[in-house]
Amino acid sequence: MNLKVAMHGIESSFHHQAVEKLFPNEEITLLMCDSFEKVTNAVNNSIADYGVIAIENTIVGSILPNYSLIDTGAFEILAETVLNIQMYVMALETESIHDIKEIHSHPVALLQCREYLQKFPPQFKIIEGKDTASEAKKIKDQNLSGVAAIAGKQVAEKFGLKILDSNIQDIKENHTRFVLLGKKEKQRFKKANKASLKFELDHNVGSLGNVLSLLTTFNINLTKIQSLPIVGKPWQYAFFVDVVFEDENFFFEVMEILKKTVKELKILGVYQQDETNMEAQFSNARINGKQ
């Protein structure tokens, strides 16, 4: 069965790598989108069976707009995967690093390489583009001299570009977490030990502490917490959390108790934790994208 998967970016991008990791043995057709919103719209409107979007990075933190897209979508998080992200500077074969006057890449990729980019003179142009691979492809297609892109090594190999500098991200252990979005009936994995939740609280002293204590009491490990403003409710926030657990049935029993503790609870997805990059799984809760 051929599956249609929507993703941000084009072939050879990091999102493409994430898709290949999530669907290692299946025949898929890629629906390549130039925005995260178009990915979620494709899933919402059943144009695609699944969608894949990045949700957080170990340097940049949470990709906040994508939390809102997941929250408002008519789908669930069905799976996750974590990739080791190494950034490279690439340009035409005739270029050297001294020839480059501007660098193009996706805004999140540029943020992962801030320290490197600060070394260039003030007149040097840093241009935000649609995605890493598309910016590299544009250099090749338009034969752009004096222009480089920041992307993965696989992109340079795909489009025949010359690597001018390697591993330029701010930290060596750079990981990005991607989530698989789809309708509940398209769930691919039976075993689950992780969940993503959203809840709102009343303005009572200790209300968040009560939630955290409840999870601790029932041995449900909080791995991430992220607050986002509630649109239309100034100075009120929703909390997005990831938790891991051992027994799925017991987890849902605890959720019934949690519903009575919070103002509103929404389970965004129950899925299997990606254990192939455990060093990238945050053991401590992170608030507002900061460790």
* Residue 58, pLDDT score: 94
Average pLDDT over every residue of 174-181: 97
Q: Given this model, what pLDDT does residue 189 score?
A: 66
* Contact predicate 39/14, CB 8 Å: no
Give the residue carrying structure tokens 């003030």: 122
Share of the chain above pLDDT 70, in %: 94
Which pLDDT does position 204 carry in this prediction?
A: 79
For the chain, what percentages of helix, strand and coil (3-state, to nearest 5) are there?
30, 30, 40
pLDDT of amino acid 109: 96
What value does the mean pLDDT of the chain take? Answer: 91
Record the tokens describing residue 170, joined without a space: 């701010």
Residue 288 pLDDT greater than 90, yes or no: no
Q: Give the mean model confidence (pLDDT) for residues 48-64.
A: 95
Give 19's Cβ-side CA count (13 Å radius).
27
3 state SS of 18:
helix
Cβ atoms < 10 Å from Cβ of 107: 14
Confidence of residue 89 (pLDDT cuts 50, 70, 90): very high
Residue 24 CB neighbour total at 10 angstroms: 7
Please check the confidence at residue 228 and state whether its pLDDT lies above 50. Answer: yes
User: pLDDT-derived band of residue 287, with 50, 70 and 90 as boundaries?
Assistant: very low
Q: Taking residues 120-127, what's their average pLDDT?
A: 93
- What pLDDT was estimated at residue 54? 97
Residue 170 pLDDT: 96
Whether residue 142 contacts residue 96, with contact meaning beta carbons closer than 8 Å, is answered with: no
What average pLDDT does this structure show over 188-217? 89
Is residue 68's pLDDT more than 80? Answer: yes
Contact 6, 33 (CB under 8 A): yes
Say yes or no to pLDDT of 172 above 60: yes
pLDDT in tens, 251-271: 999 999 999 999 999 999 999
pLDDT number for residue 182: 96
Average pLDDT, stretch 218-240? 91
